[in-house]
Amino acid sequence: MIRANRPSLNVLIVEDDPDQAELLAVALGRDGYRVAAVRDARGALHRLTLERFDAVICDVGLPGMRGDELLRHVRTWDRGLPFLMLTGETDVPTAVRAVQDGADEYLLKPATPGMVEKGLRHAIAQRARHTEQERAMAAANMAEVKAFLAGVQALVNSLESKDQYTKNHSKKVAACAVLMAKALPGMTKSQLREIRLGALLHDIGKIAVPEQILHKNGPLDADEWEIVKQHPLHSARIVEPLARAMPEVQRIVRHEHERWDGKGYPDGIAGTDIPLGSRLIMIADTYDAVCSRRAYRDAQPREVALEVMREGAGTQFDPGLVPVFEETYLEFPEHAS
């Protein structure tokens, strides 16, 4: 359990009343906290970007940006920072909204330094317990995910082993999609993991498509094509157990055949409504198809794939991602001719 008087705990006070700020700072300093104080939300945001704080004590009625608005800003990038709200406003809706926005404690003024310190200790301890619970839940979810993926990967291997022309297709698509994703600014490890998994599982729904259609030596008729176009929906259903822990993976596999111009399937969505991972997989999938040997043709050189991407930019492919492909495709895995 975190001790309230540990001197390593840094607290930011956001209070426009200098007397109140000084009173709290002196009292908390005596209790062993390291205290910094600012008078408005803008100053708070500046300090929070430059320094690490273990808790925030904030007045609601700040000049300019209110304290509850500051809280919402903070929660967009830090869900675990203990946040204590002080207010002279007694209306219940304000208090309820602050708690819903992520305030750990809500104290009415005038609050004595002792009350504030007690609330601060409670907020810090509560956040510590909550963080530990989240870690435990995440670990349990990941164990479930790993067990599920082991079984699904066996299905992928079974699907690809039946066709020498698509062997290791999903692994190659995943490698290409992740290389492009890494070239995009601001990508997180979590997003890269979701894109990789989405790519590995993007064709899993083909397990529900009859083999005589999948391996037909010739063009598909209209009815057969409609059956093939259902495979993203089958994929989304198969990966349903991942939806709780990694919902984006299910979205990625459902929409990996959507086109930038809205003429794809199964839902006909367009542009940035298509998940980023799906847009990357569309490019990586097409690259692998062009550069892999097929029953009816030899593998094509990378330069042919580059022309396909350029020609399809703005129709089949996201025009903002085609330049990313151009920057990275020479790093993609080699294909056997």
What tens digit of pLDDT does each residue of 35-56 get?
Answer: 999 999 999 999 988 888 999 9
Q: Is 206 a catalytic residue?
A: yes
Confidence at residue 316, expressed as pLDDT on a 0 to 100 scale: 97
Q: Report which secondary-structure segment, H or E, holds 303.
A: helix 302-312
The mean per-residue pLDDT over the stretch 121-145 comes to: 71
pLDDT recorded at residue 1? 38
**DSSP structure class, residue 1:** -
CB of 71 within 8 A of CB of 87? no
Distance CA 191, CA 181 (A): 9
**Which CATH code fits 10-132?**
3.40.50.2300
pLDDT digits (tens, 9 = 90+) for 265-309: 999 999 999 999 999 999 999 999 999 877 667 889 999 999 999
Does residue 225 have a pLDDT over 90?
Answer: yes
Residue written as token pair 């290409």: 176
Mean pLDDT value across residues 160-186 = 83
Q: Which of 206, 216, 229, 263 is catalytic?
A: 206
User: How many residues belong to the chain?
Assistant: 337
Instruction: Give the domain ranges of the chain.
Output: 10-132, 163-331
pLDDT of 61 reads 87
- Span of 32-36, 83-87, 163-167 with lowest mean pLDDT: 163-167
pLDDT of residue 307: 96
> For 88-102, what is the mean pLDDT?
72
State residue 141's pLDDT score: 66
What is the pLDDT at residue 184?
92
Does residue 258 surpass a pLDDT of 80? Answer: yes
Contact between 252 and 278 under an 8 Å Cβ cutoff? The reply is yes
In order of 45, 146, 178, 238, 323, the CA distances from 320 in angstroms are 32, 33, 16, 31, 6
**Is the pLDDT assigned to residue 177 strictly greater than 90?**
yes
Flag the least confident range among 70-84, 118-132, 198-212, 246-260: 118-132
Which has the higher per-residue pLDDT, 87 or 232? 232
Q: Does residue 90 or residue 107 have the better pLDDT? A: 107
Residue 172 amino acid letter: K
As a whole-number percent, the residues of the chain with pLDDT over 90 amount to 47
Task: Give CA–CA dist 251/247, Å, rounded.
Answer: 7
Task: Give the percent of the chain with pLDDT over 70.
Answer: 86
Q: What average pLDDT does range 142-168 have in this prediction?
A: 68
CA distance 200 to 237: 15
| Average pLDDT in the chain | 85
Q: CA-CA distance, 65 to 75, in Å (whole number)?
A: 15
pTM greater than 0.95 (yes/no): no
Quick one: average pLDDT of 18-44?
Answer: 92
- Residue whose pair of structure tokens reads 């540990």 in the numeric block: 6
Q: How many CB atoms lie within 10 A of CB 19?
A: 8
139-146 mean pLDDT:
67
Which two tokens mark 314?
């703005």
The radius of gyration of the chain's CA atoms, rounded to the nearest angstrom, is 27
**pLDDT value at position 136?**
62
Residue 266 near residue 276, CB atoms below 8 Å:
no
**pLDDT confidence of residue 99:** 73
Q: Which residue has the higher pLDDT, 102 or 184?
A: 184
Q: Classify domain 163-331 at the CATH class level.
A: mainly alpha
